[in-house]
Amino acid sequence: MDHQALALEMRGLREQVTGITDTAVAAADGLLIAADTADSIDPEGLAALAAAGLGLARRTAGATDRGALRRTVTYGSHGCAAFYAVGDTALMVVLGDEGMDLEQLHRATQPALHRIGSILTDTASDKASEGV
Amino acid sequence: MCEAAGGVMSGHEHLAQALAECGRDGYTGELRVHGTPGGTFHFGDGRVVAVETPGAPGPEALLLRSGRVSGEQWAELVRESGGSRWPATALIAHGYAGAAQLRVVCALALHDAAFAMAAGRVDGCERVASAELFAQVPLGEPPLRLLQDATRRLSALAGLPHPVHPDRERPVPAGTGPGSTALQRELLTHADGRCTARDLAFRVGRGVYTVAVEVARMLDEGLLVCTAAPVPLPVRTLPDGHALQPRKPSQAEPPPPPAYGDLPRRKPGSFFRLRNGTANGTAK
């Protein structure tokens, strides 16, 4: 996995979509891989919540015959938290303030999710670097 | 960008032309501005009656972030107003804001949103008919006056010794002092090298122009500094023996439905808690 490429994707998304405050990438079971989060956020807890939230949403979609799960979004009065599956092995969390344009976020995340999926599964450029 | 007689129009010229045409035509509907941050001007009879943009906090964010109305109270006001996006009558009826006060908040937000869009990149403008008019100011503003005010603010900001762009610089406290005003102290609390002036405006519930000017002043006074390189982003290697695995489809049977009786009360925050939240769910 190319750590620098992953960091660039996450930071690029925050700069591309106005209103994104934090992002995180984790394994599908909730084990944190990377976090671009403020000090006030616990990234490990957030990753675990996202894994549980996506699992519950996937089961809900299945139980109600809603087809393949696309994303889950939690809306609050100060913003929202969006959880996306990255292929079958990982997930991405995006937190935004109340100004963030969700439609713009969903448009921007689709190509980013594809690239992040490729980075995570790419074993050729395995670089063990901490803090890129 | 679009072609115009005598050359290629810039995004801002395109915005000025689109606004002028909407005013001249007495247009009612939305004018969507594509770009960064982009947004929507809502027109009623050729006057701007609301502006929405990711680039500046609207009246709702200003009221909620300032603590004048809580999130729960806002949800109740919206319910009471039949799901209205802007429950102005209920806000006044419940005493959360006076009618004049609300007009001032809305007018300030209108000008601030126009400023944020004018400060950004404009890729194009598109008229979109809307079934229902969204209005936050009753009479509305002439569109070109709104744009002139935004241009004046941009010039004023650019004329400061340390000008900042609402969506670019991400300052950190210089550690030279606690700030002399409440706004400065708030900005010092939230400036962590991740937030632009626009982000800080949302955090403190103030207009983006006000915050951008204050950030510029604080940079000049040495209270804030802009670091050259962003904070490194930690990427972890998965522990030994823990490779990325495809998720396993859940085979668990759903729990049996509970016996009917009184509805149990929700107990917030028992398993996971973000660092900035508390057990009763209130976030800082």
Domain limit, last residue, from B202, B226, B250: B226
Q: Which of B191, B210, B226 is the last residue of a domain?
A: B226
**CATH classification number, A3-121, choose in 3.30.450.30, 1.25.10.10, 3.90.245.10, 3.90.650.10:** 3.30.450.30
Q: Which two tokens stand for residue B160?
A: 């400061």
Residue B180 and residue B122 share a domain: no
Is the CA virtual torsion B101, B103, B108, B112 positive or negative?
Answer: positive
**How many domains is chain B partitioned into structurally?**
2
Same domain, residue pair B149 and B191: no
Digits of tens for pLDDT over chain B (284 positions)? 333 334 455 678 889 999 999 999 999 999 999 999 999 999 999 999 999 999 999 999 999 998 899 999 999 999 999 988 899 999 999 999 899 999 999 999 999 999 999 999 999 999 998 888 898 988 899 999 999 999 999 999 999 999 999 999 999 999 888 888 999 999 999 999 999 999 999 999 999 999 999 999 999 999 999 987 777 787 887 776 677 878 777 655 666 666 777 777 777 765 555 555 554 444 43
Do residues B125 and B215 both lie within one domain?
no
Q: Which range marks the domain in which residue B179 is found?
A: 171-226
**Whole-number percent of chain A with pLDDT over 90:** 82
Query: Given B37, B238, B247, which is nearest A31 (Cβ)?
Result: B238
| A7 contacts in chain B (CB < 8 Å) | 232-233, 235
Q: Which residues of B touch A63 (CB under 8 A)?
A: 254
In this structure, are B41 and B176 located in the same domain? no
Q: Are residues B97 and B185 in the same domain?
A: no
Query: Which residue, B228, B171, B192, is CA-closest to A38?
Result: B192
Indicate the pairing of strand B39-44 with strand B29-36.
antiparallel
Same domain, B134 and B9: yes
pLDDT for B264: 74
Selected for mutation to probe chain A from B168, B198, B233 (highest A CB count within 10 Å) is B233
- Beta-carbon contacts of residue B86 (< 8 Å; ≥ 6 apart): B50, B59, B60, B134, B135, B136
Q: Cα(B36)–Cα(B46) distance, rounded to whole angstroms? A: 24
What are the φ/ψ torsions at residue A110 (nearest 5 degrees)? -60, -55
pLDDT in tens, A2-58: 888 999 999 999 989 999 999 999 999 999 999 999 999 999 999 999 999 999 999
Q: Is the peptide bond before B256 cis (omega within 30 degrees of 0)?
A: no
B178 and B147 in one domain?
Answer: no
- Residue B254 falls inside a structural domain: no
Same domain assignment for residues B175 and B35 = no
Residue boundaries of the structural domains of chain A: 3-121
Are B150 and B181 in the same domain? no
Q: Do A77 and B276 touch (CB under 8 A)?
A: no
For an interface test with B, which of A1, A18, A100, A130 has the most B Cβ atoms less than 10 Å from its Cβ?
A18
Whether the CB of A122 is below 8 Å from some CB of chain B: the reply is: no
CB B212 within 8 A of CB B183: no
Using the beta-carbon criterion (under 8 Å), do B202 and A49 form an inter-chain contact?
Answer: no
B255: which DSSP letter? P
- Indicate the residue of B37, B238, B274 with minimum beta-carbon distance to A41: B274
pTM for this predicted structure: 0.85
What does the pLDDT read at residue A128? 45
Residue B47 lies in a domain: yes
